[in-house]
C-alpha cells in the first residue's frame, strides 16, 4: 500500500551553512527526528515550506494525508491579541502565518493533525485561544517545563482524562513526558478540549473532538519515540488516521 504523505511544518534560520551564497535569505528546516518517526511508523514525510502564498499551501494540503505542526519559536502574541511581555523570546511571523494557514486548510479538509509543543499552541491560537508568553514569569509555583536535559529524557508526569482520544491511545491515566517549553495554553480555544495536565495545572495536551484526529501535545514525542512506548503509540495512531484519510480520498 502507498504510504500516507505527512506534511511537516518548518522553522527558519538566516543563511545557515551556505549563507555566503544567498545573504539575507532564510533556510527552512526541521529536525530529522520528526521525519524519522513518520518513516518508522509507515508514513512518507515531506516538508511544508514557509510561505505566504495561500494558493500554494492550498495545493500542497490537497496532496497531504496528515500534518505535523512542529516545535519552534514563540508564537507572536499579536495573533492572540496581546502585546509582547518581557519574557517573550524569539518570534517569526512568517512561520506563524504559514502554520496558521495550514491549520485552517487542514481543519476544513478534516486532515489528521498532530501538533507538537509549539504545534499545540498554534492549534490553540488558530482557533481563538491564548497563551502564557512565559510560564516562569506568569504562572506562580509552576514546575520546571524547560528541562536542561535533552528531549530524549522524560522529566515530569502528566495526568490524562479517561474520556479522551489520547487516553484511548495510551490506556493510561498518568505518563511521564519530556518538557522543553516556556510557553503554554492560557485560555483554551472553544473548539478544543483539554485532555492532559501537569501537576501545576498547566494544559499538556488538547484535542478537537469534532474532527477525526486533531491532537496537540505540549511535550516532544519525536525525541523519545525510539524508547518510549507512549510516544511510539501516538505516532502510530496518527499515521493510522492519516492512512484512513488517504483511503477516503482515493
Ligand atoms: Mn511540560
Query: How much is the pLDDT for 14?
Result: 84
pLDDT(238) > 70: yes
**Rounded average pLDDT over 200-222:** 98
Query: Which domain does 39 fall in, by range?
Result: 5-249
Rounded to 5 degrees, what are φ and ψ at 46? Answer: -145, 140
Q: Any idea which of 18-32, 71-85, 143-157, 198-212 has the lowest mean pLDDT? A: 18-32
SS3 state at 205: strand
Residue 222 a catalytic site member: yes
Question: For residues 249 and 149, is the Cβ–Cβ distance under 8 A?
Answer: no
Choose the catalytic residue: 10, 33, 117, 204.
117
pTM of the model: 0.97
CA 8–ligand 1 middle distance (angstroms): 22
Query: How much is the pLDDT for 66?
Result: 98
CA 112–ligand 1 middle distance (angstroms): 23
pLDDT band at residue 17 under the 50/70/90 scheme: low
pLDDT in tens, 81-129: 999 999 999 999 999 999 999 999 999 999 999 999 999 999 999 999 9
pLDDT(16) > 70: no
Choose the catalytic residue: 33, 127, 204, 222.
222
> Domain count of the chain?
1
Query: How much is the pLDDT for 22?
Result: 78
Percentage of the chain lying above the pLDDT 90 cut: 93
**Rounded average pLDDT over 68-77:** 98
**Rounded average pLDDT over 24-52:** 96
Q: What is the CATH number of the domain that holds 157?
A: 3.40.50.880
Query: How much is the pLDDT for 109?
Result: 97
Residue 226 a catalytic site member: no
Query: How much is the pLDDT for 25?
Result: 86
CA 192–ligand 1 middle distance (angstroms): 19
Question: For residues 94 and 52, is the Cβ–Cβ distance under 8 A?
Answer: yes
Give whole-number Cα distances, 21 to 13, 16, 24, 30, in Å.
15, 10, 10, 21
Amino acid at each position: 500500500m502507498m504510504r500516507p504523505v505527512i506534511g511537516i511544518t518548518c522553522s527558519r534560520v538566516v543563511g545557515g551553512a551556505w549563507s555566503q551564497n544567498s545573504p539575507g535569505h532564510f533556510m527552512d528546516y526541521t529536525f530529522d527526528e520528526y521525519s524519522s518517526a513518520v518513516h518508522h511508523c509507515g508514513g512518507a514525510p515531506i516538508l511544508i515550506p514557509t510561505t505566504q502564498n495561500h494558493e500554494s499551501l492550498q495545493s500542497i494540503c490537497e496532496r497531504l494525508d496528515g500534518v505535523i505542526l512542529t516545535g519552534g519559536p514563540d508564537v507572536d502574541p499579536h495573533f492572540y491579541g496581546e502585546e509582547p511581555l518581557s519574557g517573550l523570546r524569539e518570534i517569526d511571523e512568517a512561520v506563524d502565518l504559514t502554520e496558521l494557514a495550514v491549520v485552517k486548510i487542514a481543519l476544513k479538509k478534516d486532515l489528521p493533525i498532530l501538533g507538537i509543543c509549539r504545534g499545540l499552541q498554534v492549534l490553540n491560537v488558530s482557533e481563538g485561544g491564548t497563551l502564557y508568553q512565559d510560564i516562569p514569569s506568569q504562572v506562580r509555583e509552576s514546575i520546571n517545563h524547560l528541562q536542561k536535559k535533552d528531549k530524549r529524557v522524560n522529566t515530569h508526569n502528566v495526568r490524562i482524562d479517561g474520556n479522551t482520544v489520547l487516553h484511548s491511545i495510551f490506556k493510561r491515566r498518568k505518563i511521564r513526558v519530556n518538557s522543553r517549553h516556556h510557553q503554554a495554553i492560557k485560555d483554551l480555544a472553544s473548539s478544543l478540549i483539554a485532555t492532559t495536565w501537569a501537576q501545576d495545572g498547566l494544559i499538556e495536551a488538547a484535542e478537537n473532538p469534532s474532527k477525526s484526529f486533531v491532537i496537540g501535545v505540549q511535550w516532544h514525542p519525536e525525541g523519545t519515540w525510539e524508547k518510549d512506548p507512549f510516544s511510539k503509540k501516538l505516532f502510530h495512531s496518527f499515521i493510522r488516521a492519516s492512512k484512513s484519510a488517504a483511503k477516503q480520498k482515493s
